[in-house]
Amino acid sequence: MVSVPEPGHDEIILTAPAGGQLCNSRACASAGRVAELVVTYGVLADRGGWAGDRRELWPDAWGRSVPMCTGCWEQTRALVIECRPGLVIRDLAGAPAAAPPATEGQAAPDPAAGRQAAVAVDGERWREAAQLRHDHAGWAIVWLAEAGEFRAYKRLPGARRDTALAAATASDLAAQIGQAEQPSRPAAARRGQR
């Protein structure tokens, strides 16, 4: 077993998982999704902060190692980078233990390169999600790489439950948010009749 160096302040270390280890997400584990990396969290808080400081991020995870699939890691990474802009991520993962063997005359696939390509492709979507969050304050908006869609959540005035929206493109989601924020026609008509 390889020992993982202890992450520093505002640092995350990525390492390769043990073969066959499932993603920590309940949904992913139920689906049998294998972890592609292990995320070890350092202290994600301001130096000199106090216990319960709102700038702390996931104190229960500090020092813990969590197996994740690429989709879960991308969601986590986007949130952590947004909340902790000075974060350092050290990728020590290399090739995961569960990488398929090469066939004769064919080079073994490079899982790290595949992970980097997925990150590059989804990077633009994460930027679009960040722009949507900026443009539509109060909405929780994420890009779900595994599902290939944007999702937005908000409790609208007068609603008993959160509004949940999904779209394949940022522009489609923005249009849905605009529609959801419009007052309903019957209510607007009633106000106009008074």
Q: pLDDT digit of tens for each residue in the chain (194 aa)? A: 457 788 988 889 988 888 889 999 998 989 999 998 999 999 888 776 655 666 688 888 899 999 999 889 988 888 888 888 788 888 886 533 333 344 445 454 444 444 444 445 566 777 788 888 889 988 888 877 777 888 888 888 888 888 899 999 999 999 999 999 887 655 545 555 55
Q: What are phi and psi of 151, to 5 degrees?
A: -135, 145
Q: Where are the domains of the chain?
A: 1-95, 129-194
The DSSP letter of residue 60 is: G
Q: Provide CB contacts within 8 A for 67, sequence distance 6+.
A: 17, 21, 22, 23, 24, 35, 37, 38, 39
* C-alpha–C-alpha distance, residues 4 and 187, integer Å: 59
DSSP letters spanning 81-120: HHH-TT-EEEE---S-TTPPPPPTTSPPP-HHHHHHHHHH
> What is the CB neighbour count within 10 angstroms for residue 57?
17
Query: For position 167, what pLDDT does the model report?
Result: 93
Q: Which tokens go with 69?
A: 């699939």
Query: For position 53, what pLDDT does the model report?
Result: 61
* C-alpha–C-alpha distance, residues 87 and 42, integer Å: 10
Query: For position 113, what pLDDT does the model report?
Result: 47
